[in-house]
Amino acid sequence: MLIAQITDLHVGVMGQKVYGLVDTPGFLAAAIAHLNRLNPQPDLVIATGDLVDEGTVAEYQTLADLLAPLRAPLYLALGNHDDRDAFRQIFGDLPYVPAEGVLQYAVEDYPVRLLVLDTLVPGASHGELDADRLAWLEQQLAAQPHRPTVICMHHPPFVTGLPGMDKLFCRGAEPLAALVSQYPAVERILCGHLHRPIQLRWAGTLGSIAPSVAHQVALRFPPARENAFVMEPPAFQLHLWHPQAGLVTHTAYVGNFDAYSYATKAPIAL
Ligand SMILES: [Fe+2]
């Protein structure tokens, strides 16, 4: 099984650059083209939030148009730049989208199960898992305790050493950690929000943040306090469920790169 994770798309309306600088629709189109070229194709693509930049219906329509050519099945999660009502106006008919409330659901059709959480707090940049959202997760984990599982959530429930972002993490993390640590079958916590690839050990599993398919957050440790963005290469991650190795995370940079045979120096197909 191959899971592709894209995150922090921040799609704006066509022709307008996010922060006046970043052509996010163009970046997403390049990522979709790259995903469509993959052989084998991913079994599914999970987008872990900040699907659009300002949470407007027009942006979600642009997003839908950009996602239409994607070949692999797609699952969407919400981030702090998203808006549940506007999202539902365009994507509300997807079979996994609940009619109301938070956007949490399970994907059961593959060897690795996905539990998708909603950490969005309307009007805020930080995330939160309140008692109801946690209770849903608890129920899901208890129902199939030994099944390999990844939990997908936009805001990481852990800090990373990047002070500007750490204050915007997912609140309510202690009970989540207590819950997750009871289930060794949880292979990963797959997050976005940080716009960088970051991994750490957390609650008996691996916390993993994927880079953005558009702009990245600058890697600035203290004494820097402020966030800044940087045009490092856009990327996505491929989480491979391998019979020997278990779940292995690979990072792929978006682009159409030539690969050369060591023996003949001739280009070979990727
Ligand atoms: Fe973001």
pLDDT tens-digit map of 59-68 = 999 999 999 9
Q: Is 90 helix (H, G, I), strand (E, B) or coil?
A: helix
Q: Which two tokens stand for residue 156?
A: 């990481």
**CA 50–ligand 1 middle distance (angstroms):** 5
CA of 266 to the centre of ligand 1 (A): 39
The Cα–Cα gap between 152 and 144 comes to: 17
Residue 225 has pLDDT above 90, yes or no: no
pLDDT tens-digit readout, 18-54: 999 999 999 999 999 999 999 999 999 999 999 999 9
Q: According to the model, what pLDDT value does residue 269 have?
A: 79
- pLDDT band, residue 168 (cuts 50/70/90): very high
Statement: residue 170 has pLDDT above 90:
yes
Distance CA(177)–CA(132), nearest Å, equals 16
Ion ligand 1: residues, CB < 5 A:
8, 50
* Strand intervals (E) in the chain: 2-6, 44-48, 74-77, 105-107, 113-116, 127-128, 149-152, 170-171, 186-191, 198-202, 205-209, 216-217, 229-230, 235-242, 246-253, 259-260, 267-268
Q: Given pLDDT bands bounded at 50, 70 and 90, which one contains residue 173?
A: very high
Number of domains in the chain: 1
Expressed in angstroms and rounded, the spacing between residue 146 Cα and the centre of ligand 1 is: 32
3-state secondary structure of 149: strand
What CATH number is given to the structural domain containing 165? Answer: 3.60.21.10
Q: How confident is the model at residue 248 (pLDDT cuts 50, 70, 90)?
A: very high
Host domain of residue 123: 2-268
Q: 0.95 cut: is pTM over it?
A: yes
Spacing, Cα 98 to ligand 1 middle (Å): 23
Q: How confident is the model at residue 270 (pLDDT cuts 50, 70, 90)?
A: confident
Q: How many angstroms is it from 53 CA to the middle of ligand 1?
A: 8
- Ligand 1 centroid from CA 72, angstroms: 23
